[in-house]
Amino acid sequence: GLGDVYKRQEERPVVGQLINDVRAEIETIIDKQKKLIEQAALEKKLEAETIDVTLPGEDVVIGKKHPLNIVLDEFKEIFLGMGFSIAEGPEVELDHYNFEALNIPKDHPARDTQDTFYISDNVVLRTQTSPMQIHAMETRELPIRILAPGRVYRKDEVDATHSPMFHQIEGMAIDKGITMADLKGTLNEVVRQLYGEHTVTRFRPHHFPFTEPSCEMDIQCHKCHGAGCPTCKGEGWIEVLGAGMIHPKVLEGCGIDSTVYSGWAFGMGLERLAVVCQGVDSLFDVDTVMHITNKVSEITGAHYGESNARDVSLRIITDHIRSASFMICDGVLPSNEGRGYVLRRLLRRAARHGKLLGVNEPFLYQVVDTVIHENECQYPELREKQSYITRVIRTEEENFAKTIDGGMKIFADLLAEHKAKGEMQFSGKDAFKLYDTYGFPVDLTEEMVQD
């Protein structure tokens, strides 16, 4: 042992020297390694912080076109292509233009349904864009083809389908020999260009004081394709415009010879048009979901209007990822109770509908950025927590991916069993398991079983 060595006096300096040498050597090695590690760390840091000046800069959010303007511009484009020109006029109107000249005298019942804000006895906020018909007839050379979009006002309470201020688009064509067939042909062509080749329309007889005959045009509901659903209030059709052949009295009132000239006019609500165009449920949705649905379309390859089942899936994914992002931002985590359970089901249901659209990889997390982009003005904390929200959704998706195929199989088996027995309603334990574990709707009615 070292004790023995020290006892041998003559060897002490030698051993001491040796120990010093060894210590020095070890210190040098440690120093060297330390420097190497520090150097490597520094290099790594520098590399990570390198600024590549050739990379594009970060996107600055400068706002975007309002959904109503998107639809309006599209609409204008179609009419300009048909030789119409755009007309503009006052929102504060004389009673004469808004009512009298349109064959709506003071005691006419049509005034009740268009109660508005009176500036004075003879001046009103216009209730319709139809006064533009009169302005155009008074100021333009025949033949006339105009499109007149603008704000209108009515004394309505705000709800999902009403607002005291909304937008209308007036269209009018006057020429020799114009008939109802021109009206129908024009509107059908416009709708075809706007909503696609296969859009179904319906013309119903109606009454307006300033057109004769009059009609209303409906578009078959984009959600249920005519079957009836909440969006179309069970009707299967959505009313989009009023129209008709301009009343001879109105033409004559503007000095146009109604035995030589005839014309049609229509008036439609822009908000409603936008709702149908963008495939959403209510006016309030127009602003926020269109881009999210577009993103889901981009990832899944499913587009609105292909089939009812695919529309439902697009809608569910859009809504659920939007809600889920907010919940996670709010501090909720997927779990088996309380709000966490709601969140988990939202995500699982969305994931299952992704499967139905043929997407087999986790993809919901990719939609988060669009959800945030659409909402960060009102909810900046969404952006702050973006990577967290994305991670939570992705993790839940990945976990669920391990069991979803099993769920689909259980569902298929149960479905076959039920069909064999002639029952279409799932209930009890079966339904609960599908609901609880696999994100199926709570009661699987015949309709749900089909989608």
Cα 114 off chain centre by: 30
List the one residue from 242, 253, 263, 354 that touches ligand PHE (CB under 6 A).
242
# of chain residues touching ligand PHE (CB under 6 A): 10
| Mode of pairing for the β-strands spanning 261-269 and 237-246 | antiparallel
Query: Least distance in Å: CB of 212 to ligand PHE?
Result: 10
What is the rounded CA–CA span in Å between residue 26 and residue 426?
A: 76
Q: What torsion, rounded to 10 degrees, do the Cα atoms 258, 263, 268, 274 define?
A: -170
Q: Does 244 bind ligand PHE (CB under 6 A)?
A: yes
| Mode of pairing for the β-strands spanning 261-269 and 165-176 | antiparallel
**By three-state DSSP, how is residue 117 classified?**
coil
Enter the tokens of residue 253. 């009132």
Q: Does 329 bind ligand PHE (CB under 6 A)?
A: no
Which CB sits closer to ligand PHE, 243 or 368?
Answer: 243
Give how far Cα 55 sits from Cα of 49, 52, 60, 373, 387, Å: 14, 6, 15, 22, 22
Tell me the window of 242-250, 255-263, 271-279, 414-422 that interacts with ligand PHE (CB under 6 A): 242-250
Q: Does 209 bind ligand PHE (CB under 6 A)?
A: no
What is the rounded CA–CA span in Å between residue 60 and residue 237?
A: 41
Tell me the window of 239-247, 270-278, 282-290, 438-446 that interacts with ligand PHE (CB under 6 A): 239-247
Query: Least distance in Å: CB of 217 to ligand PHE?
Result: 10
Contact 168, 154 (CB under 8 A): no
Contact 365, 390 (CB under 8 A): yes
Beta bridge partners of 263: 174
Q: Does 137 bind ligand PHE (CB under 6 A)?
A: no
Tell me the window of 219-227, 241-249, 347-355, 413-421 that interacts with ligand PHE (CB under 6 A): 241-249
> Site mask, ligand PHE, residues 246-265, x = CB under 6 A?
-------------------x
Q: Does 130 bind ligand PHE (CB under 6 A)?
A: yes
Q: Does 128 bind ligand PHE (CB under 6 A)?
A: yes
List the one residue from 174, 229, 243, 275 that touches ligand PHE (CB under 6 A).
243
List the one residue from 67, 150, 253, 267 that touches ligand PHE (CB under 6 A).
267
Tell me the window of 44-52, 238-246, 301-309, 373-381 that interacts with ligand PHE (CB under 6 A): 238-246
Q: Does 208 bind ligand PHE (CB under 6 A)?
A: yes
Query: Least distance in Å: CB of 208 to ligand PHE?
Result: 4
Tell me the window of 36-44, 92-100, 237-245, 363-371 that interacts with ligand PHE (CB under 6 A): 237-245
Q: Does 426 bind ligand PHE (CB under 6 A)?
A: no
Secondary structure of 62-77 in HEC code, one letter for each residue: CCCCCHHHHHHHHHHH
Query: Least distance in Å: CB of 185 to ligand PHE?
Result: 16
What is the rounded CA–CA span in Å between residue 241 and residue 203?
A: 10
Give how far Cα 425 sits from Cα of 142, 422, 441, 445, 447, Å: 63, 9, 12, 5, 10
Enter the tokens of residue 400. 């669920």
Q: Does 103 bind ligand PHE (CB under 6 A)?
A: no
Closest among 175, 127, 178, 128 to 148, alpha carbons compared: 128
Contact 121, 182 (CB under 8 A): no
Which CB sits closer to ligand PHE, 149 or 267?
Answer: 267
Residues that bind ligand PHE in the complex, under the rule CB under 6 A: 128, 130, 208, 211, 242-244, 265-267
